A and B are shown apart, each in its own frame.
Chain A
Amino acid sequence: MSAATQATGAAPDRPPTNAERTEALEALLIERGFVTAADVDGIVERFRSDLGPMVGARMVAKAWLDPAYKQRLLDDPDSVLAELDVGTSQTEHLVVVENTPEVHNVVVCTLCSCYPWAVLGLPPAWYKDPAYRSRIVREPRAVLVEMGLDLDEGTEIRVWDSSAEVRYLVLPMPPDDDDQIGGLDVDELAELVSRDAMIGVARAGTR
């Protein structure tokens, strides 16, 4: 064992916790002068404040309101992304897939946990869980029911395994109740668009 794997403050009778490993590695990198605490805090701050599902939710809300924007989002999402100040963090090429009454889309990364950070922030715990990653390709209809989404029998399910560097965003259908969305602006509509709806495990306006 060498420095990075050994440098933990753990008691000798148990393996170090993840937090202990992380703190030890950070302290080592700072001590050796590779980074400063401010460098690390800067990365944390960026993920905490600049990225999150609100970026994707606003894209969806605008697409519901503006057919031309929606078409551009489906045809060339990279150009839409380039206009937003979200960088290309984990999202070098985005594809947007549209839900319709006939087709439901759902996203996974079976090999690790690839996720469109730039538009959705960091992935939820269940998305990274081996159970979701293995079962959503094998029995998506059953998994979606377990997660609270019961689709009509004839609805085709399209699972997208983001096994390369392409990242997927689901464009959910707007809530079918016109009274609920009529007259709302982009910000109000965006509140109806959950992270889960943009992964494809929920409907918009239901969580």
Chain B
Amino acid sequence: MTEPRQGEIAARKEDTHPEARRQGREPLVPLVDIYENDEGIILLADMPGVSKDGLDIHVDKNTLTIRGAIAGIVPKDVKPLYAEFDGRGYQRVFTLGPDVDVNNIRAVMSGGVLKLVLPKTEAVKPRRIEVKAA
């Protein structure tokens, strides 16, 4: 799975406001692992602080958008002393190839990790061709 156009455009938009991003106004880009086998593509995204309810995944034409809201972790009366992390949410966009069966994408959210299984359409799965003796 490649992310040529949309992914690049998304990356360029993020980099035009490095200050805003550092101050937590723009969403963070979650780190991902992307694997592939004959059955489909598996995407694992680190989104600590996001629960199943805070997750928003949608596919529009061939664009997959993953969004996660961080909520309900820090009570209002906590005064920050030291912060390495200042995100309010996550967002990442990928383009999908035509071989992905978008109607059967499955998502599981657990322990701040999103697991997305993107199966391939039957037609494109590699098929063994039996060679018969002439």
**Does A pair with B?**
no
Q: Which residues of A contact B (CB under 8 A)?
A: none
Q: Which residues of B contact A (CB under 8 A)?
A: none
